[in-house]
């Protein structure tokens, strides 16, 4: 597995910088809502054409965290065990799949999907 920084407009100066507010699953898509620690902005990450969603508690994610290159909050994993288990290299639908990893204060969220859009959620 190779982990690289996934550049997003959301700030994350360390692994536990942002708070997971919610995850919403609908057929074929997942929305993740985060509270950005430094600014208290709320962000929505919308994943489409998903193949997998995994949420792991912070306490159980030690080996995964050790494999990450630097402290931060957003990574993309290449050649991951999860993608291989889902059929990467063998299944046509996995060709455009990407393995996203989001570090939150109490959880690590992993999503395998084709696409993601990140948007700032305005509050009134």
Cα 29 from Cα 11, distance rounded (Å): 24
| Beta strand ranges found along 1-124 (DSSP E) | 2-5, 18-26, 29-36, 42-57, 74-78, 98-103, 107-121
- Give the predicted TM-score (pTM) of the model: 0.93
Q: What is the predicted pLDDT for the residue at 124?
A: 54
Number of compact structural domains in the chain: 1
Question: Is the predicted pLDDT of residue 76 greater than 80, yes or no?
Answer: yes
Question: Is the predicted pLDDT of residue 114 greater than 60, yes or no?
Answer: yes
Give 33-58 pLDDT, tens digit per residue.
999 998 999 999 999 999 999 999 99
Average pLDDT, the chain: 93
Cβ(119)–Cβ(43) below 8 Å: yes
SS3 60: helix
Tell me the residue range of the domain where 85 lies: 2-121
SS3 84: helix
Cα 51 from Cα 44, distance rounded (Å): 19
């Amino acid at each position: 597995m190779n982990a690289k920084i996934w550049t997003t407009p959301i700030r994350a100066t360390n692994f536990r910088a942002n708070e997971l507010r919610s995850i919403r699953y609908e057929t074929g898509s997942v929305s993740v809502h985060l509270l950005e620690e430094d600014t208290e902005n709320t962000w929505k990450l919308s994943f489409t054409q998903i193949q997998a969603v995994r949420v792991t508690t912070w306490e159980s994610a030690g080996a995964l965290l050790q494999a990450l290159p630097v402290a931060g909050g957003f990574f993309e994993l290449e050649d991951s065990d999860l993608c291989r288990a889902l059929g990467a290299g063998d299944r046509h639908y996995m060709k455009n799949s990407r393995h996203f990893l989001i570090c939150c204060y109490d959880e690590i969220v992993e999503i395998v999907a084709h696409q993601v859009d990140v948007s700032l959620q305005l509050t009134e």
